[in-house]
Amino acid sequence: MAEIELSVLKGQCLDRRIPEMATMQAHVAAWEAARNNRSRKIVWQFKTSDARIKLKRLYQNL
């Protein structure tokens, strides 16, 4: 899950050149606070019917 958060951080906050470390730390802290306040969760499970649709090309005989 940490890799996902780092990828999101890179795309949403660190997508530009930041000249000073203190500025970057402030941006990251603000992004982190906003992200934590939203408290979204990752749903790792899906239904069998959804799996059959998504994996049909891999398991055609199911």
* pLDDT tier, 1 (very low <50, low <70, confident <90, very high otherwise): low
| Model pLDDT, residue 20 | 93
User: For residue 29, which phi and psi values (nearest 5 degrees)?
Assistant: -65, -40
Rg (CA), the chain: 18
Extract the tokens encoding 37: 């306040």
* pLDDT tier, 62 (very low <50, low <70, confident <90, very high otherwise): low
pTM of the model: 0.57
In this predicted model, which residue has the larger pLDDT, 30 or 5?
30
For 15, other C-beta atoms within 10 Å of its C-beta total: 8
> pLDDT tens digit string along 18-41?
889 999 999 999 999 998 898 777
Which residue's structure tokens are 């499970």? Answer: 45
